[in-house]
Structure 1
């Protein structure tokens, strides 16, 4: 068996007309649905900090969509974690969010690393980068997600019905 080939880092940048503190607090919110993360709710046992396990759960709180571990957490500038989608049988990748103050706002960078080249996880993540950036931007600037985020929220119950049984939250404990 050959070793997997990993894709080059994929970076998406979005300028958000909001203070860095607003973008940071929106990005790292826990225990509420995050429209820029497809309506998922971030759960941890000990809060977001290096070494903490986390999972992104469906709004119905019965499905784990993503699981991982926080690698770095340096408010309000850097948040990095492993990222494994529970419906894809591939090793986790690394996701890093970087915030930099710019004139009149914040530059939000979303970087994907260590995903298998041509793998389903890389394709899903690369296609989601724009969605995440545009919905985080809209939420921070206007208090509402973009149209795409609102539509995902409306369709969330349907997505929950299509989930695999292996995604049930009991299969993905935080400890």
Structure 2
């Protein structure tokens, strides 16, 4: 069996008309549903390299994503592995880079090392614009974009469709 081929890095750059501190604190918030992360609550007990993280459905019963912190350099850079719990595929790497620019923040979302042709790569390609657009709207206006509000409304249905393997007891942080 041959080794998998990994994708080239995919970049999504946007400008957010908000201070870098606002964008950073919104991006790394924990214990509240984040519309730009499809309503997930990010749980990262320790914000340091090597710490485990998970993105949990607002019902607190389903884990949507797991990973490990690879870089944490406030307020400029945060990177982690990213594995969707409903897809049996290797994780990719997600990096968020923030830079002060023109009175606001340049936001780069970089996705690397996803297997070419994988479901994860397809999901990540589709999610980049959603994440950037909803983070931008939330930081600039205090409200997510329309797409983020719709995901929030549909969240309870998504929770009902989750696989048993996604239950929180199967994905401990320790």
Q: TM-score, normalising length from structure 1?
A: 0.98
Indicate the residue corresponding to 1:138 in structure 2: 137
The one-character-per-residue Cα deviations of 1:113-148 (angstroms, maximum 9, x if unpaired) are: 010011000110111000000000000000000000
The one-character-per-residue Cα deviations of 1:7-60 (angstroms, maximum 9, x if unpaired) are: 100000111000000000000001110000000001123x22111101000000
Indicate the residue corresponding to 2:119 in structure 1: 120
Indicate the residue corresponding to 1:22 in structure 2: 22
Q: 72-81 or 36-45, which moves further after superposition?
A: 36-45
Alignment of 1:76-91 (within 5 A): 76-91=75-90
Whole-angstrom distance in 1 between the partners of 2:120 and 2:75? 27
Whole-angstrom distance in 2 between the partners of 1:24 and 1:50? 17
SS of the residue corresponding to residue 62 of structure 1 reads: coil
Indicate the residue corresponding to 2:44 in structure 1: 44
Deviation of the 1:104 alpha carbon: 2.1
Indicate the residue corresponding to 1:32 in structure 2: 32
After TM superposition, the runs of 4+ consecutive aligned structure 1 residues lying more than 6 A away are none
RMSD (CA atoms): 0.6
Aligned residues: 174
Deviation of the 1:163 alpha carbon: 0.6
SS of the residue corresponding to residue 100 of structure 2 reads: strand
In structure 2, runs of 5+ residues without a counterpart are: none
Q: TM-score, normalising length from structure 2?
A: 0.99
